[in-house]
């Protein structure tokens, strides 16, 4: 059998770079390829999938974040290299599926997983607990959906900068975090596991395990347009055909393929078209044992799970971007200021690059309404006009190019500490 092949074509299409991926077929390979494209921040405009038999052949039309073709040769080589590594016979996709609240030591950081009932101020409470326990948040991602919350947080010891491996201390961390959810319905459980995970895939698994696909807020469901998902059987070919139509957004393809893979379905053929405000996806699937969908209950379950996967990452709330020097307790201070000004975080991405913190928050008020301009300005006065940028607020004026330290009360909190 021929070796895996990745070819990149910048000549055929005027507005997209075309990536061809050919490889021996194996379970989960589509997700591995889509994950690489997603992690490289590429936007998939169209895709054609075929993996019926022993060979996997996919075509992806991609652009960069600005909607332009990828012309940088170094970026094109990086794409090729990453895709080759994902489809090589020796590659494997590591996954973890059983943790709810877990603390996982690694060489560089300790991984904490949380799931539980969502409520205003939850992220603020969690980050305050971690700061009090001398943990430094290095990276984190938080999702909320249908009144449930899930978080994957990477922390280090604030003094050594290393992973926390002491079993007694890990026990204290888990106990304190469990207390944050105490008294809530469907309390989170505690387990400990080792391994490496893909953060976004793990969040999908955690929220699915926490049954976030169950709808409790009927009024909210009516107010927000539902994705259109259908599942029908093509009896002549023993396929089940899954079609999805919804508003397009970043990482949508990853979210749907991830869910189908974790439900142990194989995509044999498929097509994706996101050129426009709406995304259309069609997949011909069978269960991993080779059977199509064989009951009404299974059909409804697929629809529920895919609807939830599409909705989880929908950006509810006002987008705020924080960029400043990193320090221990930064996340705790920022989220405390949000809470004190009546805001709750619906989604968050926290990252550290060198000595700089680059964080994105989606916020709304505690009643679920839009953020008032008065509250927004109060928060920016505390944090700093140039430190915290607002994205997409219709009434918000552009910030001045530079701030005076006296213009906000807690300026010293957001300056990097000197050794």
CATH code of the region 318-414:
3.30.70.260
Is the pLDDT score of 329 beyond 80? Answer: yes
What pLDDT score was predicted for residue 314? 86
What pLDDT score was predicted for residue 135? 93
399 band by pLDDT with thresholds 50, 70 and 90: very low
Is the pLDDT score of 92 beyond 60? Answer: no
40-68 average pLDDT score: 93
Rg (CA), the chain: 22
Q: What is the pLDDT of residues 234-243, one digit of tens each?
A: 988 899 999 9
Q: What is the pLDDT of residues 292-303, one digit of tens each?
A: 999 999 999 999
Query: What is the domain partition of the chain in residue ranges?
Result: 5-94+225-312, 101-209, 318-414
352-366 average pLDDT score: 91
Is the pLDDT score of 187 beyond 80? Answer: no
Domain 101-209 has CATH 3.30.70.260: yes
Is the pLDDT score of 415 beyond 50? Answer: no
Percentage of residues of the chain with pLDDT beyond 70: 83
40-58 average pLDDT score: 92
117-127 average pLDDT score: 93
Q: What is the pLDDT of residues 363-396, one digit of tens each?
A: 999 888 888 888 888 898 888 877 888 886 555 5
CA dihedral 406, 408, 413, 416 (to 10 degrees): -60
Is the pLDDT score of 357 beyond 60? Answer: yes
Domains 101-209 and 318-414 alike in fold? yes
What pLDDT score was predicted for residue 315? 73
Query: Which residues are bridge partners to 199 per DSSP?
Result: none
Is the pLDDT score of 202 beyond 80? Answer: yes
What pLDDT score was predicted for residue 368? 80
What pLDDT score was predicted for residue 106? 53
């Amino acid at each position: 059998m021929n070796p895996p092949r990745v070819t990149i074509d910048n000549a055929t299409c005027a507005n997209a770079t075309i990536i061809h991926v050919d490889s021996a077929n194996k379970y989960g390979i589509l997700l591995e390829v889509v994950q690489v494209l997603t992690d490289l921040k590429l936007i998939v405009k169209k895709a054609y999938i075929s993996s019926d038999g022993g060979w996997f052949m996919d075509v992806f039309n991609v652009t960069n974040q600005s909607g332009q073709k990828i012309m940088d040769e170094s970026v094109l080589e990086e794409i090729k290299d990453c895709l080759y590594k994902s489809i090589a016979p020796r590659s494997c996709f590591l996954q973890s599926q059983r943790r709810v609240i877990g603390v996982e030591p690694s060489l560089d950081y300790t991984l904490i997983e949380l799931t539980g009932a969502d409520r205003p101020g939850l992220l603020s409470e969690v980050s305050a607990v971690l700061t009090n326990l001398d943990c430094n948040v290095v990276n984190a991602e938080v999702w909320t959906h249908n009144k449930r919350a899930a978080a994957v947080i990477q922390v280090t010891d604030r003094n050594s900068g290393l992973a926390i491996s002491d079993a007694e201390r890990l026990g204290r961390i888990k106990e304190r975090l469990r207390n944050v959810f105490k008294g809530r319905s469907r309390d989170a459980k505690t387990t400990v596991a080792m391994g490496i995970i893909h953060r976004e895939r793990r969040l999908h698994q955690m929220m699915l395990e926490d049954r976030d696909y169950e709808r409790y807020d009927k009024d909210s469901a009516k107010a927000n347009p539902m994705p259109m998902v259908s599942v029908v059987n093509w009896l002549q070919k023993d396929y089940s055909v899954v079609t999805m139509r919804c508003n397009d957004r970043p990482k949508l393809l990853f979210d749907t393929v991830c869910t189908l893979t974790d439900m142990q379905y194989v995509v044999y053929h498929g097509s994706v078209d996101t050129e426009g405000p709406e995304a259309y996806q069609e997949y011909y699937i069978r269960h991993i044992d080779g059977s199509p969908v064989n009951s009404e209950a299974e059909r409804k379950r697929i629809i529920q799970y895919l609807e939830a996967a599409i909705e989880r990452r929908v950006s509810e709330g006002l987008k705020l971007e924080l960029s400043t020097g990193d320090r221990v307790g930064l996340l705790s201070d920022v989220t405390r200021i949000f809470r004190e000004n009546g805001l709750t975080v619906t989604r968050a991405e926290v990252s550290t690059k060198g000595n700089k913190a680059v964080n994105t928050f989606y916020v709304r008020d505690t009643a679920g309404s839009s953020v008032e301009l008065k509250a927004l300005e109060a928060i920016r006065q505390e944090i700093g006009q140039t430190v915290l940028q607002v994205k997409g607020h219709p009434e918000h004026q552009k910030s001045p190019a530079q701030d005076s330290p006296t213009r906000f009360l807690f300026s010293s909190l957001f300056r990097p500490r000197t050794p």
